[in-house]
Structure 1
Amino acid sequence: MTDDVVAKATTRQMSLALFEDMFSEGLPISDASKEIGYQRNNVFIDITDLGIAARRLIDAAYFIVAQEEHVAPHYDVELNYFKWLMRYDSKNHTHLRSVITEAQKALIQVTDTPHNRAPTAEDLWVSVQLVGIVGIRAGRIRFEVPPQLLRHIRDPQKSHWLSLRITSAFTLSAARAIYDHVLPFIHQGLTDWIPLELVRAWVGKSGTSAAVFKYFKRDTLEPAVRQINELSDIELAYETRTESPSSKKIDRLRFRVNRKDTADSVRASLQGAQELYLTLKNEFGITTKQFNLVSENRAVWTDERIQQAIEYTRFRLDQGKVTQSPAGYLMKALRDNWQIPDAERRMVQVLEEKAAAERAGETAKAQAIKHVEASHAARDAEVKSRIAQEVDLGREQFAGADARARKEFVRGYVASPAGKLLLRRLKLDPTSLTEAELLGHADLSWGFLQYVFLRSKGRRQTSAST
């Protein structure tokens, strides 16, 4: 399983766990203590004339699609979970159906036609429904997303992090629309000059109905900016420009946008790299102050540079060179842009290969020693078994012999070099040793009966040869 699949599964499991905890308490997703969101393709900011509830519905649907491991013909989840994701608190199912219908009517239109000229037959233009068939039954909701959009949802290229925790808090459609459009410019801090008519189109009917700018500003623009600054993770301001130096008619706007200096906002400033955020927080214990520093420097401290600092710190940790505050060491690696030199990486690899070869040699040597020891033990066991058999056979030979033969066996063993040596070691007098004493002594009987076996064997072999 890839890291990406693991991260998505973790996000899905976390959102379900949060839902179970918060739904029972009657708490909306906007009050969540943890981030819930996904990496949204920039193409999905160009959605117009869509109410706030319908926008939340699309967010919830695309969040579910983004977390699934595989593309599916449809997506089926518990209705209460879906409503919680879109912060739909009402029990009015008639209204919910109307919201679904509104979302089904919405289109995403993609074109390469510049804003300052009319379209031509050579220009690219695509119009796609945002969500397809939707059905509700027995407390569950099933929905389809047009196949043409699935790739853009699941594997976005140019994208930004969309937090359902934040967007579900908006109550003004204009605030949500402007927030969507400025997010891709967060790292630049400033949008291009945007035609006023285009900004009006972003916010839909509330924008186009106010023909005079001062009324558009009073009734739509200013309330939207205030709500964005109050409820979201960014600070937003705007500037205006007139048609010409001699004109008083405002025809263009541009927005200045900055992340708020809070640890929560860093989750979004990490371009939705939730796994990267969790690594900084859980593995290295980055503090709120350090997160704020990361947020302030995101224009330079990109995802790649942060990952590079993480790898460098892990590399030095494995070498035992980080003895205090891994978080502080990582921040210094990030600030000074430390990188692991290729030569050092190769050196470590060579040393590891050498150590592995030495370990393999030591393992082979130990296995060879064990093999020899096992072989010796097997031979010893074999010898002991053979001697035991010889002793048993010797006992049978001695028991079956007549008195004269038994005396000869005793006399012969006592006079043999092995018998003399053993008797001397045991400090026994051979001249007074009886047959009963010989057989009753454990050490003597073992050697004596083996002697009987060998003598009997020798006699049998001699008889057979003659």
Structure 2
Amino acid sequence: MLSKTTTYKKPLVDKATLKKNVGLIHSSSELGLVERKLFNWLLLESFEQLEQDVTHEIPLPILKVLMGWENSNNNDGLEAAMKRLMSTVVHFNLIKSKKTKEGESYEDAWEATTLLSYAAIVDGRARWRFDQAMAAKLHDPAVFHWLNVAAAQGLQSSFAYALYENSARYYKVGQTPKLSVPLVRELLNATAPLYADFRYLKQRVLTPAVKEINTITDIELEVEYQREGRSVVAVQFFVTAKPQSSLLVNKDRLREALSEEEKALHDRMVALKLASRVSISAIDARGYDAIEQAVALTEYKVKNGEISRSAAGYLRKVIATPFDVETPVTSATFRRDKSRSQLEDTQALVAQRQAEGELVREEREKRTTEISLLSVVERREAAKAFIQNMPQTAKFYDADLAKFSGRTESMFSLFLRGWVPAGDLQVSNSV
């Protein structure tokens, strides 16, 4: 979508931020990188309706974009990840804070549930449900912290992703509690026997994960190790939000904080079934002008019956589409310019293919004629070269007729198309 300076702003996905249950973040679920990302996006998409007992859904193309799989037509990965979310038991509040006279301390507590109670991929859409107890925990504002899902999207290691989830919430206080080494292993799912040796846990899990987080995400971590004798018994992470971090932005901006112009645009987006929170984030991320153009186009499509399923899903895709044009993109100009451009491109491609095909046909006919005019002497010369390349064909050769028997003659005919005789006859090598 074009901004006033004709430079691209990052897609809406870069502003995607999720309120996530603290206990869930500190879960010991054995989730891989794909499952963690998928669950965070499903939670983000359904957050506005968590208090309602409903089946949530999202078009598959949009979910694939969120997962970074927009070029894949294979749904097996999503299906496997959703099945894993349905079968995975998570343990809540492995780290539970409590107030004491001396200040804040931490104690252990236990609670468990599955992540999804239902999942399906039907008619090009992903569908899922949360158990009511799970939904209540996910929506409890008393235990939420903001998790920047998009900031963590580029992480390639499941260890780094889990560490980001478990440390980002502490950016305001600047440090995590001191975590015992067994607890760190459980939180990061580094439960392989190899990591019982702290040297390998540090070398292969903690150090690479911290480096990846510091390079990619919106926070920076430093690690401090607590020792008893020569052994490391606990780990503490010091957390700093980078200056440009979206964690430092007020994420609770409500409709009342918008200008009158933005409120009107917001209401149009909500009328298209886009969540209020997502609408406000889109306006903040892309600017009023770009979003107004996207909304106008979507409204035009809805009015003309060109959107059969989700207007909100279509609007999301338009918001994420850059337009490199000098004039404002309205529903009419977008429709006209795109159709004209597609028609011109198609006509040019057809003309090019026709011209190329005509040249190939002419060359082929010319070469066929040249081969038919070869003398017996020239065919013998060619056969000699052919046999030198493929000695096993000699037994099928009739020197008097300068021909081969059976399939070998067909092979010889193909050879002749690229053969240049030693005489005056010039043969094209292009066909």
TM-score by length of 2: 0.51
Q: Secondary structure at the match of 1:99?
A: helix
Pair 198,208 (structure 1): closer, same or farther in 2 beyond 3 Å: farther
Given that 2:23 and 2:95 are in contact with CA atoms closer than 8 Å, whether structure 1 keeps it comes out as: no
* Alignment of 1:229 onto 2:205: no
Pair 114,270 (structure 1): closer, same or farther in 2 beyond 3 Å: closer
Q: Which residues in structure 2 correspond to 1:270-349 (within 5 Å)? A: 270=249, 272-275=251-254
Q: Which residues in structure 2 correspond to 1:373-392 (within 5 Å)? A: none
Give how far 1:252 is off.
0.8
Pair 98,155 (structure 1): closer, same or farther in 2 beyond 3 Å: same
Give how far 1:224 is off.
0.4
* Alignment of 1:103 onto 2:85: yes
Pair 59,274 (structure 1): closer, same or farther in 2 beyond 3 Å: farther
Which 10-residue stretch deviates more, 61-70 or 35-44? 61-70
Distance in 2 (CA, whole Å) between partners of 1:225 and 1:197 is 18
Given that 1:135 and 1:143 are in contact with CA atoms closer than 8 Å, whether structure 2 keeps it comes out as: yes
Give how far 1:33 is off.
7.2
Rg: which structure is higher?
1
Identity %: 23
What runs of 5+ residues in structure 2 fail to find an aligned partner?
A: 3-7, 98-107, 263-431
* Alignment of 1:42 onto 2:22: yes
The residue type paired with residue 77 of structure 1 is I
Give how far 1:112 is off.
7.6
Match of 2:187 in 1: 202
Distance in 2 (CA, whole Å) between partners of 1:153 and 1:278 is 26
Give how far 1:69 is off.
8.1
Distance in 2 (CA, whole Å) between partners of 1:277 and 1:37 is 20
Give how far 1:67 is off.
2.7
Match of 2:66 in 1: 85
Give how far 1:186 is off.
1.1
Distance in 2 (CA, whole Å) between partners of 1:277 and 1:223 is 44
Distance in 2 (CA, whole Å) between partners of 1:149 and 1:271 is 27
Give how far 1:222 is off.
0.8
Pair 83,175 (structure 1): closer, same or farther in 2 beyond 3 Å: same
The residue type paired with residue 235 of structure 2 is L
Match of 2:202 in 1: 217
Match of 1:326 in 2: none
Given that 1:30 and 1:166 are in contact with CA atoms closer than 8 Å, whether structure 2 keeps it comes out as: no
Give how far 1:32 is off.
4.7
Distance in 2 (CA, whole Å) between partners of 1:105 and 1:238 is 34
The root-mean-square deviation of aligned C-alpha atoms, in Å, is 3.3
| Count of paired positions | 244
Match of 1:253 in 2: 235
User: Which structure shows the higher helix fraction?
Assistant: 1
Pair 113,95 (structure 1): closer, same or farther in 2 beyond 3 Å: closer
Q: Which has the higher contact order (CA 8 A, sep 6+)?
A: 2
TM-score by length of 1: 0.47
* Alignment of 1:138 onto 2:123: yes
Given that 2:14 and 2:151 are in contact with CA atoms closer than 8 Å, whether structure 1 keeps it comes out as: no
Give how far 1:61 is off.
1.2
Structure 2 residue corresponding to 1:65, chosen from 41, 46, 53: 46
Give how far 1:91 is off.
3.0
The residue type paired with residue 213 of structure 1 is F
Give how far 1:114 is off.
8.0
Q: Secondary structure at the match of 2:111?
A: strand
Give how far 1:111 is off.
5.4
Structure 1 residue corresponding to 2:164, chosen from 157, 174, 179: 179
Given that 1:49 and 1:205 are in contact with CA atoms closer than 8 Å, whether structure 2 keeps it comes out as: no
What runs of 5+ residues in structure 1 fail to find an aligned partner?
A: 1-17, 22-26, 116-122, 284-466
Distance in 1 (CA, whole Å) between partners of 2:151 and 2:15 is 9
Q: Secondary structure at the match of 2:207?
A: helix
